[in-house]
Structure formats: structure tokens, C-alpha cells
């Protein structure tokens, strides 16, 4: 009897104790869970935030690198004397925009890389699609009979206002000829310059939300995903005579004949590079020969403004409102990562500067 | 003996719970540190981009030579009138003329501008506006060995956004092209 009551007492005491401890543990777990949920959300979001920043850096670095080089590596003078190294449109052998078009979210950049493939035509072409007979012994050419050109290279040929960028389809070292993959727009005469170039076309695939990079030939690939906006702005030298003047008494696409030659470009006033709307990059005066004509204002571009906007990969981290270009499902809280937008400027180092208004 | 054992179990449970909580709080501190680090990375990235932006703006100003007259003589052409602290730039500033001393250490008008958390220009002058998060200062100094043709450009971006001071500093040399 005594033993039984003692056991009962003991059992009751254990039950109360258990309830108390369950209550305490429950309370503690509640607190713990709150920490855990917050930490878990933060950790999930951090991966996306880091990814967002990383993608921004990749996009900015790629664009900056190529814009800095635009027009570089001139042969017998800067590339800008032959054509516009920066164009606000898509160029290349596939899907090129028509000449004299301007798009805020597309840019074509051309420069001569560290190549020794710089030569000239020894005899005029037989026709627009004929092989180009090059001088394999031009100064600096490697001694391989074809001045270092190999199949698949992009090459630029230019002469007297006309130019073409083409892919080298075939090289013959024995006859010192290179064949273009497609017919050129002109039949180039002897003496035309032929140079290996790099062509880079950056554009926004708006439906696919991707920053695309096209090499002018066949490689047309996404560079960065979840890019929702891309804009290029152009700052030009405001002086009318900021483009290389023709020889005395001569004329060019930017100068009418006269002594001295009369600039055709508008004087935009001031000295600092001036922001121009895309319409000004297509309204003339026009340089080059069809089908590769371009606006003379592009020859006085001194600075490019680039605006890139990226969003998080996961729609769960995107909400609604001005911070998001594409609506997501986030209701706020920790899972809320606004679009990342930056604007940066690049002053291409190889766009030749001619002093304006000093004449 | 049984009773004591039961009492000890309660203390044990409480201690274990306390331990678990302590560990959990410590772990959540780690993720808080990760959040701070990724924010700091963003601030630094933006600061570097903003510094590069001003550097490119400085480098795009006219700093060349031209030939005038008959017979032709070559004279330097320099932009000494653009105010880069305004957005868009105006023609009422110092351009690439040598900056006074101390433009990198204090807010000297024409050599400082202010940007918000997203990197958008919000003002200039000696006093930062309320929205300013980034302070961008720059200096233009002729190189001692060739003061007429070579400039040393410096840009510093600091931020007040955080207790930890972030800074991006860019230095570049601008040479007059023929």
C-alpha cells in the first residue's frame, strides 16, 4: 500500500515534470525556428544575390574590354579612317541590320587584334566573290605564304570609302590568295588593304532576357542570362571639324570642298562630349559606300554610356513595382531582391581625336 | 534516488536546449555575416564602377594637338572649360586644368559629385545632399617631367552607406596625342 502510493506519487511527479519540460522545449523551439527560418531565407537569397552581382561583373567587363579596344590597331592610320569602328546596329554575315539604322540596345565593335595579318591586294579582284590575291611578303607578314590568314578568320578589306568585313573560307599559300565565304559588296582594286579583325556584336535578346554576343560569322551565343535591359548612349565631340579633315582643297563625307574644306557636321556647341539621340546617328552626313554606309557622327564618338539591368534568376525573389522589370512572386520580406542596374562609361582609346575649332 | 534522477533529466534537457539555441544563434550569425559581406561586395563593385565612370569622362575630354596657320605650327588643344561635376556636364568648369591641392581629401566644388545608392548622380558642390551615398572626388595633376602633355588623373569614391568605410581609388595617365 505504502509502496503503491509512493509509486503513484512518483509517476505523477514525472508527468508534471514532462509537461513542464515539453512547454519549455516548445517555447525554445519556437524561438529557434524563427531564427532558423530567417537564416535559411537569407542563405537562399545570398546565392542569388552573389550570382546577380557576378553576372553584372561579367557583362560589364566584356563590354568594357571590347569598347576600350574599338578602332584599335590601325594600319596606315586609324581604323576610323576606313569606317566606323562602333555602330549602333548589328553587323555581320547573318541577320545584319540595314545600313544607317540605329538601335539603343545593339552595338557592333570592330578592332584589329594583336595580329600580323596586315597586307594589301596585289592585283584587283576578278569579281565581288573572287579570291583576294594578297601580298604575302608585306612588312610584318609571317612567312607562310598567306600572311598569317587561316580559314575562319574575320578579315577587313577597304579602299576609297568602301569596306567589307568577311570570313576567310579558304586560304591558298601557293597562290597567296584568300577566298571570302560570301561575295563582297564591291570588287576591290589592287592596293586595297586587307587586315585580320575582331568583330563583336553585343545585343539584347529581349524576349529571352539574355545579353548576346555575336562574332559576325557563325557564333551567336548568350553571354549573360537574365539581362532585362541594355542601352547604349553616344557622346560625340561637339565640334564640326572633329573628324579627320581631307587634304587641302579636298573633300570627304564630313567635309564639302573648299579652302579650307567646309565641315558638314553640326557644331553642337561647347567642348565636352555631348549626348546625342540615336536619330542623330542615322541622319547624315553619310560616309562609306552602299551597302555599308554609316553616319559621319559615328566618327566623332568619344564616349559610350552603357546601362545594364539584371534581375535575379528566381522569380520567387522578384516582386512587383518599379524595382522589377519582370514581375515575380515575392511578397516582400527577406526574399526580395530588386533588379540591379548600373550605368558605366567607356572612352574608346582608339577613336582618333582631331582638335575642333582650333583651325 | 529515482526522484533525483528525474530532476537531473530536466536540467539536462534545459542545458541541451540552451546549447542547441546557442549553436543556432551562432550559425545564424554566420549567415548574417554572409549577408553583410555580399552587401559590401555590391557596394565595392558599384564604387569601382563609379570611379571608372568618372575616369572615362575625364579621359574623353579633349587633350590633343592641332596644326594651325601657314606655315602650319602644332599647338596643344586642351579642354579647360568643362564642368564634369554636373550631369550632364556644362561649360562652366575647369576641364583638365590642374586641380587645386586637397581635392581628394575634401569636397572641393568642380572636383566632387554625389551619387545615390543606385549610382545615380544626385548633386555636386561642397555639401552632400541628403540622398548621397557615394562621394566621388577627383584630381588632375600635370606630371612633373612633362607638365604640358601628360596628366595624372586620380578618382576616389568613398561611401557613407556602411559603418565600414569602402573606398575605390583609380589612377590613370593621360598623354596628349599628336
All residues of chain A having their beta carbon less than 8 Å from the beta carbon of residue B53 are 343-345
Torsional sign, CA B48, A310, A307, A90: positive
- A223-276, pLDDT tens digit by residue? 999 999 999 999 998 888 888 888 777 788 888 888 778 888 888 888 888 999
Element (H, E) at A46: helix A2-69
- Please tell me which of the candidates B52, B64, B91 has its beta carbon nearest to residue A353: B64
All residues of chain A having their beta carbon less than 8 Å from the beta carbon of residue B63 are 353
Angstrom distance (rounded) from CA A255 to CA A262: 5
Q: Do B3 and A13 touch (CB under 8 A)?
A: yes
Q: Provide the pairing of β-strand A262-263 with A220-225.
A: unpaired
Q: Do A32 and B64 touch (CB under 8 A)?
A: no
With 70 as the cut, is the pLDDT of residue A204 above it?
Answer: yes
Judged by average pLDDT, the poorest of A216-225, B36-45, B161-170 is B161-170
Which residues does residue A255 pair with via DSSP β-bridges, in sequence order? A252, A263
* Average of per-residue pLDDT across B20-34: 80
Please tell me the distance in Å from B74's CA to the nearest CA on chain A.
10
> Nearest 5°: phi and psi at A56?
-60, -45
The b/e string for A192-208 (b: 16+ C-beta within 10 A; e otherwise) is bbbbbbbbbbbbbeeee
The b/e string for A99-115 (b: 16+ C-beta within 10 A; e otherwise) is bbbbbbbbbbbbbbeeb
Q: In the block, which residue shows the cell 579602299? A: A159
With 60 as the cut, is the pLDDT of residue A335 above it?
Answer: yes
CA angle B86–B89–B91, rounded 5-degree value: 110
Contacts 24+ apart (CB under 8 A), A1-4: none
Distance set, CA B67 to CA A258, A260, A264 (Å)? 18, 13, 20
* Residue B161's pLDDT band (cuts 50, 70, 90): low
Contact call for residues A204 and A322 (beta carbons, < 8 A): no
* Average of per-residue pLDDT across B5-33: 76
- Interface-testing mutation among A272, A274, A305, with chain B (most B C-beta atoms within 10 A): A272
Q: In the block, which residue shows the cell 576591290? A: A188
Report the Cα–Cα distance between both ends of chain B, in Å, rounded.
100
- Search chain A and give the residue with CA nearest B6: A14
The single-letter DSSP state of residue A24 is H
3 state SS of A265: coil
- Search chain B and give the residue with CA nearest A236: B60
Angstrom distance (rounded) from CA B176 to CA B174: 7
Which distant-in-sequence residues (6+ apart) come within 8 Å of A247 by Cβ? none
All residues of chain A having their beta carbon less than 8 Å from the beta carbon of residue B31 are 39, 42-43, 46
CA angle B105–B111–B116, rounded 5-degree value: 85
3 state SS of A296: helix
- A73-112, pLDDT tens digit by residue? 766 667 877 888 999 999 998 899 999 999 999 999 999 8
Element (H, E) at A200: strand A198-205
- Please tell me which of the candidates B6, B17, B90 has its beta carbon nearest to residue A28: B17
Name the nearest CA neighbour of A332 among A340, A344, A345, A321: A321
Q: Provide the pairing of β-strand A193-196 with A177-180.
A: unpaired
The set of cell numbers assigned to B94 is 575647369
Angstrom distance (rounded) from CA A353 to CA A298: 12
Query: Could you give the ipTM of this predicted complex?
Result: 0.80
pTM, rounded to two decimals: 0.85
Contact call for residues A244 and A352 (beta carbons, < 8 A): yes
- A110-168, pLDDT tens digit by residue? 998 877 788 889 999 888 889 999 998 888 788 888 888 989 899 999 988 889 999 99
- Interface-testing mutation among B19, B33, B38, with chain A (most A C-beta atoms within 10 A): B38
- Please tell me which of the candidates B25, B88, B118 has its beta carbon nearest to residue A341: B118
3 state SS of A150: coil
Amino acid at each position: 500500500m505504502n509502496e503503491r502510493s509512493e509509486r503513484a506519487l512518483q509517476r505523477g511527479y514525472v508527468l508534471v515534470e514532462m509537461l513542464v519540460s515539453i512547454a519549455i522545449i516548445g517555447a525554445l523551439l519556437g524561438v529557434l525556428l524563427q531564427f532558423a527560418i530567417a537564416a535559411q531565407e537569407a542563405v537562399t537569397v545570398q546565392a542569388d544575390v552573389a550570382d546577380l552581382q557576378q553576372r553584372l561583373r561579367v557583362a560589364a567587363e566584356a563590354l568594357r574590354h571590347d569598347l576600350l579596344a574599338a578602332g584599335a590597331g590601325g594600319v596606315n592610320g586609324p581604323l576610323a579612317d576606313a569606317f566606323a569602328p562602333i555602330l549602333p546596329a548589328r553587323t555581320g554575315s547573318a541577320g545584319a541590320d540595314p545600313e544607317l539604322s540605329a538601335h539603343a540596345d545593339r552595338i557592333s565593335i570592330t578592332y584589329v587584334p594583336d595580329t600580323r595579318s596586315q597586307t594589301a591586294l596585289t592585283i584587283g579582284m576578278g569579281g565581288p566573290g573572287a579570291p583576294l590575291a594578297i601580298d604575302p611578303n608585306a612588312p610584318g607578314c609571317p612567312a607562310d605564304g598567306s600572311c598569317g590568314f587561316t580559314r575562319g578568320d574575320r578579315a577587313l578589306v577597304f579602299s576609297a570609302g568602301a569596306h567589307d568585313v568577311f570570313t576567310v573560307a579558304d586560304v591558298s599559300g601557293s597562290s597567296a590568295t584568300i577566298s571570302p565565304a560570301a561575295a563582297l559588296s564591291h570588287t576591290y582594286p589592287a592596293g586595297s588593304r586587307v587586315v585580320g579583325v575582331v568583330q563583336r556584336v553585343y545585343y539584347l535578346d529581349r524576349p529571352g532576357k539574355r545579353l548576346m554576343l555575336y562574332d559576325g560569322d557563325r557564333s551567336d551565343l548568350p553571354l549573360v542570362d537574365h539581362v532585362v535591359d541594355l542601352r547604349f548612349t553616344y557622346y560625340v565631340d561637339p565640334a564640326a571639324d572633329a573628324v579627320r579633315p581631307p587634304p587641302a582643297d579636298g573633300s570627304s563625307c564630313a567635309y564639302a570642298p573648299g579652302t579650307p574644306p567646309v565641315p558638314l557636321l553640326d557644331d553642337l556647341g561647347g567642348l565636352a562630349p555631348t549626348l546625342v539621340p540615336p536619330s542623330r546617328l542615322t541622319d547624315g552626313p553619310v560616309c562609306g559606300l552602299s551597302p555599308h554606309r554609316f553616319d559621319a557622327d559615328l566618327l566623332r564618338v568619344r564616349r559610350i554610356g552603357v546601362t545594364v539591368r539584371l534581375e535575379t534568376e528566381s522569380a520567387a525573389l522578384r516582386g512587383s513595382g518599379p524595382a522589377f522589370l519582370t514581375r515575380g512572386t515575392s511578397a516582400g520580406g527577406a526574399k526580395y531582391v530588386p533588379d540591379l542596374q548600373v550605368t558605366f562609361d567607356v572612352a574608346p582609346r582608339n577613336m582618333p581625336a582631331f582638335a575642333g575649332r582650333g583651325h | 534516488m529515482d526522484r533525483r534522477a528525474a530532476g537531473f533529466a530536466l536540467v539536462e534537457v534545459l542545458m541541451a536546449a540552451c546549447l542547441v539555441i546557442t549553436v543556432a544563434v551562432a550559425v545564424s550569425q554566420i549567415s548574417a555575416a554572409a549577408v553583410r559581406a555580399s552587401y559590401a561586395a555590391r557596394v565595392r563593385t558599384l564604387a569601382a564602377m563609379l570611379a571608372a565612370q568618372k575616369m572615362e569622362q575625364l579621359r574623353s575630354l579633349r587633350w590633343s594637338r592641332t596644326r594651325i596657320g601657314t606655315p602650319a605650327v602644332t599647338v596643344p588643344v586642351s579642354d579647360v572649360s568643362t564642368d564634369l561635376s554636373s550631369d550632364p556636364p556644362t561649360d562652366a568648369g575647369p576641364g583638365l586644368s590642374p586641380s587645386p591641392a586637397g581635392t581628394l581629401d575634401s569636397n572641393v566644388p568642380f572636383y566632387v559629385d554625389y551619387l545615390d545608392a543606385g549610382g545615380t548622380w544626385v548633386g555636386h558642390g561642397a555639401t552632400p545632399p541628403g540622398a548621397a551615398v557615394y562621394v566621388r572626388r577627383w584630381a588632375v595633376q600635370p606630371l612633373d617631367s612633362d607638365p604640358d602633355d601628360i596628366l595624372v588623373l586620380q578618382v576616389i569614391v568613398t561611401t557613407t552607406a556602411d559603418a565600414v568605410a569602402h573606398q575605390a581609388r583609380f589612377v590613370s595617365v593621360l598623354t596628349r596625342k599628336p
